[in-house]
């Protein structure tokens, strides 16, 4: 690639992360974590791109005709469990969608990874073979992956344990997530950009060889193998991409498509240069028009999903709604999405179709929509006792407008007013579903710290009594109590009652201080896993 890492690093350092526009659905700190992330956000804003909120979006049941053999279990939408809505790797993400997804359980890197997919787009043709689709999927993934593992690491502040070390791949570091931000003096910026450019060059060379030989040729880097990912994507999405519904959707709504693999490869190169500080030709429309077209395409695909399992007059009437929506998208008519929704509601008065509130739960705010309260349903699986006692609709509106990468129960707890028995009940419920565990070796030098993922909470009364309270105003019962929460080595939750002095000591415990408790109490807490050695010794 005719890009120079030294020049790119200088441009990114100078651009920094100032003046980054806000984007719907993206936590602001995700867009300012690095200069490369900021560049993606700036270009995405000009194109009218944004993110949907996964936990506010109703996932639709997939038509059986779109399911690859052996994947029939993926037809039903995923279900909430303890405040977590899982995301299926291949069925929930599509290279052809303009709008990416914000899942609160994912790392901050994902916002700009998803937005980068929207900038790069995809390739599709009516006569595309599975090999074409696999190669197109591989190319569509190339720059977002290079951004995630290399370019986003340039000038990125990390914790002392990982400073200058690059992406953590499958490991997760809460401290790095908390510190992630622009550091103009971070080490290794040029090297990260060089590695990213080299990764792209080698991958494109492997793609060229694959196309010459007519079979996928891998270029592996650590755990990355985009050739394998492309094949898996083509197998999972092949029936959908070959369906008549996709052909009609693409002809009327697809604004991200390259007509062939050569055009997609050039688009990858152009957007790569833009991420590294060079100009990107602005789209031939305003951000407002780009946003409207992305919304129309998103809504249209949901309607096509319904139509794929519909026939007769209902299918013909759906086709009319889709044709009107396509005309509105082309004309830039801002009321197009609402008119399509209203027409669908009227159709549902006549035919038994997907409930309108499911269709309208798109994961972003649109005037006039009446979506199913997906988040409220999830909150009941995480905090079933506190959520019915507060205004969940107000919380959901806040949560959609101010996305955060935290578990649902923690976001609920942060939203509730401080103080009061309701918040104590919510804190108890949140600890039950978000407490984690840390694997640590025994044998320390006497310094300890609170285990990662453990919780120490003080309550004004027995939270178990609050949890078993009938409907109506909460009443304090019993004496104040302190509890420690931690996952055991078997993964089961351990809840231990602590005496007041031990709780206070744990709440004020530093990262590596001598235990302020007696030898017996310290040993008991180490056995529980609530505290761990801060420093391990080589000899007893």
For residue 274, what are its two tokens? 């833009």
Pairing assessment for the beta strands 51-53 and 100-102 based on DSSP bridges:
parallel
Distance (Å, whole) CA 478 – CA 80? 34
Give the Cα separation of 370 and 391 in Å (integer).
17
What is the C-alpha R_g of the chain?
26
What pTM, to 2 d.p., does this model score?
Answer: 0.95
Q: How far is 450 from 507, CA to CA, in rounded Å?
A: 8
Tokens of residue 327, six digits? 């005309």
Delimit the domains of the chain by residue range.
5-284, 287-372, 374-434, 435-540
Q: What is the pLDDT of residues 235-252, one digit of tens each?
A: 999 999 999 999 999 999
Give 276-329 pLDDT, tens digit per residue.
998 887 788 899 999 999 999 999 999 999 999 999 999 999 999 999 999 999
* Helix 392-401 / helix 374-382 crossing angle, nearest 10 deg: 110
Q: Could you tell me how many residues make up the chain?
A: 540
- Encode pLDDT of 444-488 as tens digits: 888 999 999 999 999 999 998 888 877 778 888 889 999 999 998
Structure tokens belonging to residue 96: 């052809």
pLDDT at 141 over 70: yes
pLDDT for residue 164 is more than 90: no
CATH of domain 435-540: 3.90.930
């Amino acid at each position: 690639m005719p890009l120079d890492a030294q020049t790119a690093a200088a441009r990114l350092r100078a651009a920094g992360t100032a003046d980054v526009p806000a984007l719907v659905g993206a936590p602001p700190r995700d867009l300012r974590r690095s200069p490369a992330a900021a560049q993606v956000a700036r270009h995405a804003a000009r194109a009218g791109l944004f993110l949907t909120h996964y936990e506010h979006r109703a996932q639709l049941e997939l038509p059986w005709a779109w399911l690859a053999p052996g994947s029939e279990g993926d037809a039903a939408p995923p279900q909430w469990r303890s405040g977590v809505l899982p995301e299926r790797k291949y069925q929930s993400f599509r290279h052809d969608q303009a709008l990416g997804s914000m899942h609160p359980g994912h790392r901050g890197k994902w916002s700009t990874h998803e937005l980068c997919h929207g900038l790069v787009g995809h390739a599709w043709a009516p006569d595309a073979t599975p090999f074409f689709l696999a190669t197109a999927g591989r190319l569509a993934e190339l720059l977002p992956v290079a951004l995630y593992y290399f370019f986003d690491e340039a000038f990125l502040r990390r914790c002392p344990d990982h400073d200058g070390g690059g992406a953590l791949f499958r490991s997760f570091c809460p401290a790095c997530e908390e510190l992630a931000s622009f550091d103009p003096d971070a080490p290794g910026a040029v090297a990260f950009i060089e590695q990213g450019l080299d990764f792209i060059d080698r991958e494109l060379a492997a793609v060229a060889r694959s196309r010459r030989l007519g079979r996928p040729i891998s270029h592996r880097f650590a755990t990355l193998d985009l050739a394998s990912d492309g094949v898996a994507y083509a197998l999972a999405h092949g029936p959908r991409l070959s369906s008549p519904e996709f052909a009609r959707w693409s002809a009327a709504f697809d604004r991200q498509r390259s007509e062939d693999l050569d055009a997609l490869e050039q688009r990858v190169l152009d957007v790569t240069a833009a991420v590294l500080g060079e100009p990107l030709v602005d789209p031939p429309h305003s951000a407002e028009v780009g946003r409207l077209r992305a919304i129309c395409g998103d809504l249209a695909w949901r309607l096509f999903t319904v139509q794929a399992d519909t026939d007769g007059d209902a299918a013909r009437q759906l086709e009319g709604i889709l044709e009107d929506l396509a005309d509105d998208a082309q004309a830039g008519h801002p009321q197009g999405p609402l008119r399509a929704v209203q027409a669908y509601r009227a159709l549902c008065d006549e035919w038994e179709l997907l409930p309108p509130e499911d269709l309208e739960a798109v994961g972003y705010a649109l005037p006039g929509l009446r979506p199913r309260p997906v988040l409220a349903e999830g909150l009941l699986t995480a905090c079933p006792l506190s959520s019915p006692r507060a205004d969940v609709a107000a919380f959901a509106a806040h949560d959609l407008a101010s996305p955060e990468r935290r578990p649902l129960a923690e976001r609920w707890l942060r939203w509730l007013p401080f103080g009061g028995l309701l918040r104590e009940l919510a804190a108890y419920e949140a600890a039950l579903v978000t407490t984690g565990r840390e694997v640590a070796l025994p044998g320390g030098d006497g310094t300890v710290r609170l285990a990662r993922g453990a919780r120490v909470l003080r309550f004004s009364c027995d939270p178990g009594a609050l949890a078993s309270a009938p409907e109506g105003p909460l009443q304090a019962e019993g004496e104040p109590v302190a509890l420690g929460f931690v996952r055991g080595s078997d993964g089961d939750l351990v809840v231990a009652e602590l005496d007041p002095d031990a709780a206070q000591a744990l709440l004020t415990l530093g990262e590596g201080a001598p235990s302020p408790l007696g030898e017996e109490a310290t040993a008991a807490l180490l056995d529980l896993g609530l505290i761990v050695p801060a420093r391990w010794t080589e000899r007893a």
